[in-house]
Amino acid sequence: MSLENVFEIDVDIKSKTAIRTPTVTQNDAVVFNFRIYDEGRIYNIDDGSTFTMTSTRPDKQAVITVGEVTGINTIRFKLGTTEFEVKGKVEAVIQVYDADGRVSTIPFRYEVLSDPSGDYIPSEDEETLIQKVLGEGPKILADAQQATTEANEATEAANTATDNANQIAAEVSQAISDARQATQDATEITEIATKAEQEREVSETERQQNEAARVQAETSRQDAEALRQQHEAQRQSDTQTAISNAEEATEGAQAVADNTRYTEPYNEATEYKKNNVVRYGKNSYIALQDTQGNAPNASGDSEYWGLLAVGGVDGTGLVSSVNGVWPDENGNVELDFSAFATKQELHTLNEGLSDNINEVRDSLGTHVSDYISHTGFAATTGTSNNYTATLEPALSAYAEGVSLRIKIHEENTDVVTINVNELGEVPIKKADGSDVDAGQLKQDSVYTISFNGSNFILQGEGGGLNNLDRSSLITSVNGILGA
């Protein structure tokens, strides 16, 4: 049996392992035995697993060695002269493959020292042959010479020497045959290594294809996220526009309210604002626009003033006419009450109006409790993950399309449910059907959710105005602005 330098090395495929740098000598027979572990546990090597070691010499040439499974978690790499041909530090990588592809890559380093005995040491087979030829050969030749010298003295001794020479020749022939067999074995090993490398290349190609597919999926995810952010930015812009419009409308309404007041008897030196009220002559007028020095028209409306009230006949507030009837010379007005409704007619009209009011009230109550046509609002109570909400008027049943805005009283720490008006717990999901993330629902924030028949779906991943609220707000703002 030949002597080998054996290095026992423990490595872990999932955690970084400190490996002492082995030191080898050129032309030595070296074996690396790697014991494989998985996070400290013995890694059970499958029959279909493949192991290769790539040694990158100091001259940057890579040499691949195929490993051999020798135990439940042990791989044996036998290195030859090719790996040690250049002295110096060698960067090595152990790659572990299973049926699905590469499992792990384990880097380490070893150092090659120069051979102090010379550049060449024969192999085992070569050494056997040389020993036979150079070791016993000279002795045989000496014996033959001695036999020749003594041939004349002892024919029997010469015959013995000849037999010995024939025996040595047979041994030399056997050594040559053994060397040829070793060469054939080496060729077969090379073919096995080549096949293993081809299989590794196929596995690497599949890995690269899988990586390309992963990159494509990640790109699609990023595109979808960019689109979602674009929609969110547009939603925030629409909301801000609606808020700005509402603020402008409020400011306009406040200006109208502030200016609609009686100021003084008309004075041509005063700067009047739109909706200011003045008295001019017997009548009262309201400013139709900002104006100064443009007196009202005593007989009616003008470009700057609208007739608001007509003074009495004496200009002190008495009426000038009643229902189109002017007073006589004594200031009396004779009225014809036949055109007015009787008490009974007014009573009947009142009953009809009461019925209409009740009908409108009932319709309004039905509309208010219809949480499909409009969105309700409630502040949550309960625990941080099992919310409860109470709508007023109460929601009668969960129905597809029911939506509400909820103000979160406590941030969630896990998946979330909500129980509306004690109708039962219903999960709150994202738009893609997945559970909301822990911490996604923030305390004191308002979110819109809509029932899809089985779950409440979080709208817009965080709320804001939904389409119905936005439409209602814009309609209200446009009504205030006179759009």
pLDDT digits (tens, 9 = 90+) for 118-157: 555 556 665 565 555 555 656 666 666 686 677 678 667 6
Pairwise CA distance, residues 106 & 270, whole Å: 93
Neighbours of 362 (CB within 10 A): 10
Pairwise CA distance, residues 160 & 144, whole Å: 9
Residue 1, pLDDT score: 45
Residue with the bigger pLDDT between 56 and 465: it is 56
Alpha carbons within 13 A on the beta-carbon side of 224: 7
The amino acid sitting at 220 is: S
Lowest pLDDT segment from 200-214, 230-244, 280-294, 425-439: 230-244
Q: Of the candidates 309, 300, 307, 278, which has an alpha carbon nearest to the alpha carbon of residue 291?
A: 278
Q: Collect all residues with Cβ–Cβ distance below 8 Å to 177 and sequence separation of at least 6.
A: none
pLDDT band (50, 70, 90) for residue 55: very high
Pairwise CA distance, residues 411 & 222, whole Å: 28
Pairwise CA distance, residues 409 & 224, whole Å: 31
Q: Collect all residues with Cβ–Cβ distance below 8 Å to 301 and sequence separation of at least 6.
A: 307
- For 250-309, the pLDDT digits (tens) are 676 666 667 777 778 999 999 999 999 999 888 888 999 999 999 998 777 888 999 888
How many residues are there in the chain?
Answer: 483
Query: Please, what is the average pLDDT of the chain?
Result: 82
Which tokens sit at 89? 């530090």
Q: Is the domain covering 5-113 a CATH 2.60.40.3350 domain?
A: yes
Residue with the bigger pLDDT between 157 and 113: it is 113
Pairwise CA distance, residues 18 & 38, whole Å: 15
Q: Of the candidates 434, 430, 432, 464, which has an alpha carbon nearest to the alpha carbon of residue 447?
A: 464
Please classify residue 446 by burial: count the beta carbons closer than 10 Å to its beta carbon, then call 0-12 exposed, 13-18 middle and 19+ buried: middle
Residue with the bigger pLDDT between 309 and 84: it is 84
CB 272 within 8 A of CB 290: yes
CB 55 within 8 A of CB 62: yes
Lowest pLDDT segment from 67-76, 314-323, 346-355: 314-323
From the options 3.40.190.10, 2.10.10.20, 3.30.43.10, 1.10.10.60, give the CATH code of 262-309: 2.10.10.20
CB 416 within 8 A of CB 429: no
Which strand (E) or helix (H) includes residue 157? Answer: helix 155-259
Pairwise CA distance, residues 224 & 241, whole Å: 26
Residue 284, pLDDT score: 87
Residue 464, pLDDT score: 42
Residue 172, pLDDT score: 84
Pairwise CA distance, residues 85 & 235, whole Å: 69
